[in-house]
Each structure stands twice: as C-alpha cells, then as structure tokens.
Structure 1
C-alpha cells in the first residue's frame, strides 16, 4: 500500500513540473510570437466579429449618372433581424458607390411587409452620411409580403415631383431596386408593368426562398441584366459590385475629350460648350470668337417715294436720250 502511494505522489510531481515548464516556455516567448499564436487560435476557433452598419464609413465612389433611386425592401416575418441588418448594410454600401447629391443621385427607401412604410423620400437627404444614418434607423415591419402594394406605393408616393423626383423634361433615370426573400401575397405583374410603363427601371433581387417567376414579372427587360439571386443574406453585399458596374458610368470628360473649351457630361456621353463670347463651330468641338454684327444704316433719303420717282422718270429720260441721238445723227449728215 505504501509503495502505491509513493508511486502516485511521484507521478503527480512529474506532471506538476511538466506543466510549470510548459508555462515557463510560453512566458519566455517574444511578444510578437504570442500575438501571432493568439491570432492563429482566433482564426481557427472563433468567428470574426459581425459587420455592422457604420454611417461614418465611406468607400471610394464612382461617377454614376444622376438617378432618382428607390430601394424597396422586404422586412416580412421570414426576414430575421440579423438578416435585415445585412440588407441595411447592402443599402449603405450602395449609397457609398453613388454620386449622391441634389444634382446627382437622390435616394429613397420603401419598407414593406403586410403594410408599406416610406422610410424617407428623394428630397430628404442629399449627402451620404445623412442617408446612411437614416438607413441605420429603419426597423423591420415583420408580417406578410405585399410586394405589389409596395411597388404601387413607390410609384405613387416616392417617384413623384412632390417627393423629390426630377421632372421628365430633365431626363433623369428613375430606378427601383427590390430586395425580397419570399413569394408575393398580391399581384405584382400588372403593377410592375404600370411602373415600367411610367419610365421606372426595375431591378429584382431574390434571396433564399424568393420566387423566381415573381422576380421576372417585376423586373425590366432584358431580364438577365435586371434579375439577381443570392442564396443567403450573408452574401447579398457581393451584389454591390454588380450594381456598381450597372449604375456607375465612366466620366467621359475625365477620361479625355476633344472639346476646345468646356466638356459637359451627359449621362454616358458628353458634349462641348464654349466660354462666354465664343460660339461652337460646325464640328461641335472647337470655338470661334463671336462676331459682332454692325448694323448698316441706309441712306435715309432713299425712301419709297424716291424709288418710285426714279422708276417713273427712267423711261422718259431714256426716250429723250434717243431723240437727241437721232437729231445729232441728222445734223452730221447735213
């Protein structure tokens, strides 16, 4: 019995000294080695912190053509709170890529479930920070999926001049981006056709259980450029680059032009203008100094009465001249 106890004590002492040596070794590691080890463990064992919407964060923007842009987002019961946050981050990322401003792109958001709520209008926010703060405050409505009603509300409430949409005469593109993960509980085909007929270009983004046929009924033609699908809300942010390619045009004036004086952007194209005092030549590129027209004042005495008198006297004078010539001819013969 005594021999067994001695063996157990001996084993315990060996284990103790092994643990002490191990921690002494770790303590002797350089600080950067400990940090690297901790980083490797965190990558292996832990998830990275979830991304949250930071209104102050900005990414590089593209030179987008001016738009009246309305997001129509599904916040029905099927969209869990963490997934709805992903949608809001997607909206904020989209705002970052756009040339936002009163004369640039204006943004509105329509939130829907069984009911529809216009979160803010095109006329409400003209800078990115205010827009993203407004997006961060949006709360899910959590009920049914009345997508058709949401599209109609966007058309009659958000895309109006009273709400901040530009007049048709200005030819500013009107774009709606719908994000949904379900099947509409109302009719979307007719109301979408009416919206497209009024000049609204519709992009349909389906997530997870979204009904593809409904997406096609809502979207503009060609469908391959206006219908998108992602498997989860976790990857919806990847669509930002897709929309960046679609909505962000290259600034033709910045890329190089042959205007002599001023280059003016016009959506995806440009045209040339001249500075004050010059006119655009026929080549639509070069400019010439504007000629000042000098008004020539005719002889004030050359009035209609004088002209009429001259016409009346021309014939008799010609007859007198002929008679004088005849008399001179006869005199010469004599």
Structure 2
C-alpha cells in the first residue's frame, strides 16, 4: 500500500466508503481515517486498506491469474511485473492447505438472457477450473450446481457425484436456458433444497458461489434471500459477468465483500 492509496481510502471514508469504514471500526476497532503509513506495517491494517482501495476502483477483479496480473500492474502496483505476480500465485496454489478441507460447495449460475450463451459457456469453464483445484470426494469437497433464469433448477446435488471427473462432466453437460433473472428464488432453492437436504452434519464449511450479472428481477429480494443463507452459516461469494451490477453483487456477498 502506498501513500496515495491510503489517502484515497481515507477520503472515501467520508463519502462512498463511509459505511464500509464504519463496519471496519465496529468489527476491528480500527479507525481507517486515522491510520498512518507506519501503521500499515501490520498485515491486518495494510490488508484492510488494500481491500477498501480496490472498492474505490469499482472494477471487478478478473478470474484468471494472467488477467489478475494485468489488473495488479494497471491499478495496484504500476512498478510491478506481471510474471512475478503469476509466479507468486502459482507458489501459493502449490502450498494450498484448503484443498483437502471439508467443504459443501454450491454454485448458483445465471443462465438468463442478459448473460447470453457465450458467457454461460465461460461460466461453466470457470466452474470446471475451480473444481480442478479441489479434492473432490464425499469425505472432502462436495459440489452441487443450481442453474437459474426465470426459475431455478438443481442440476445435481452435493451427494450426486463423488469424483472430480464426474463433477466436471456434469458441469459441462449443463445447457443454456435464457429468460429472466430470478436470482432470489435460485438462492432460496439452494438454501431449502440443497444445503438443507444434503449438507453433512460434520463441521464442513458451507459455501455458495453466485455467478451472475447482478441484474436480477428484484435486487431487494435477492439481498434478502442471501441474508437468509448467511444466517444459516453459508459463506457467499459473488462473481460478476457481462458488465455486472456491482452494488447487487456486493450486497449479496458475505463480509468482507467476497465479490
């Protein structure tokens, strides 16, 4: 974090990031407005400032490592090198300790007309890439997918497939639908038909990844449905596609903003 980024965040705390800075104060007892560069020697402080700075950019972080590297050089560290970013990311993946954790992972994917068939294929590719990085089995990570447009449908449940190959084949077989964007009913479907019926009674983490353009039929209903999931202990990550409505994605995601 450099001084310009810190100043940008502190100025935004009086405006567009006022609510975010207030949440940081409540959760961590840290007044972002009073931090100095020397305070940022603490990883928590620098991490919070960078997270808030990224929010000021109002630009979604890309999915691939190479595009993330370009994003990093363009917006975060102009003096950096993209290849160094990619190398560091690869090393982190090799040290990943989360791959063997118990996770019940539900993808809720937007198949509406506003997303389009081409971007829906990209969504499936993203899902397959995520699955490739996980240890898939009934004892480790289990995966389910809910597809939605005007209405939701459970494509397969958490206990349907127990191998990585089977999950990837099932994802690739999902067809594009088209139609409206009933995101709220899709989230409700995940909560009542997937997590409730097939979630393990163990300490498995419950995670939902919503992939959408954020242009739902009702933003208020979508946020309310997401809140019900959070109350049930589900962590929500939101991934935007096709010029997404960032405000809706941010409101639906778990805190800190997992968008």
Q: Normalization by structure 2: what TM-score?
A: 0.60
In structure 1, the residue corresponding to 2:236 is in which secondary structure? strand
Q: 1:103 to 1:207 in 2, by over 3 A?
A: same
Q: In the alignment, which of 91, 115, 118 is matched to residue 82 of structure 1?
A: 118
In structure 2, what is the equivalent of residue 70 of structure 1? Answer: 106
Aligned CA RMSD, in angstroms, stands at 1.7
Q: Distance in 1 between matches of 2:95 and 2:120?
A: 24
Which residue is 1:56 aligned to? none
| Shift of residue 208, structure 1, vs aligned partner | 2.7
Task: Please list every run of at least 4 consecutive aligned residues from structure 1 whose deviation after the TM superposition is greater than 6 angstroms.
Answer: none
Q: Displacement of 1:62 after TM fit? A: 4.8
CA distance in 1, matches of 2:95, 2:132: 6
Partner of residue 240 from structure 2, selected from 206, 209, 232:
206
Deviations 1:81-123 (A, max 9, x none): 2221111111111110001111000000000000101100000
Q: Please identify the structure whose Cα radius of gyration is greater.
A: 1
1:149 aligns with 2:181: no
Change (3 A) 1:158 1:95: same
1:218 and 2:252 are equivalent in the alignment = yes
**Matched-pair contact (CA < 8 Å) for 2:102–2:203:** no
CA distance in 1, matches of 2:113, 2:214: 10
Q: Distance in 2 between matches of 1:82 and 1:217?
A: 26
Larger relative contact order (C-alpha < 8 A, sep ≥ 6)?
2
Which one of 195, 207, 227 corresponds to residue 159 of structure 1? 195
Distance in 2, Cα, partners of 1:195 & 1:91: 21
Correspondences of 1:297-316 after superposition (within 5 Å): none
Distance, in Å, in 2 between the alignment partners of 1:179 and 1:76 is 11
Deviations 1:109-138 (A, max 9, x none): 000000101100000001011101101110
2:119 touches 2:242 (CA, 8 Å); kept in 1? no
Deviations 1:207-245 (A, max 9, x none): 23211111122110111xx01xxxxxxxxxxxxxxxxxx
Tell me, what secondary structure is at the counterpart of 2:237?
A: strand
Q: Distance in 2 between matches of 1:182 and 1:189?
A: 11
Q: Quick check: which one's helix share is greater?
A: 2
Aligned: 1:135 with 2:167: no
Alignment of 1:194 with 2:194, yes or no, is: no
Q: Which residue of 1 aligns with 2:131?
A: 95
Aligned to 1:181: 213
Over 3 Å counting, the alpha-carbon distance change for 1:85 and 1:61 in structure 2 is farther
Contact 2:149 2:182 in 1 (8 A): yes
| CA separation of 1:195 and 1:188: change in aligned 2, threshold 3 A | same
Change (3 A) 1:126 1:138: same
Contact map agreement 1:61 1:96 (CA 8 A) in 2: no
In structure 2, distance between residues paired with 1:146 and 1:184: 6
Other-structure match for 1:119: 155
Structure 1 unmatched ranges of 5 or more: 1-58, 228-334
What's the counterpart of residue 15 of structure 2?
A: none
Which residue does 2:203 correspond to in 1? 171
Aligned residues: 163
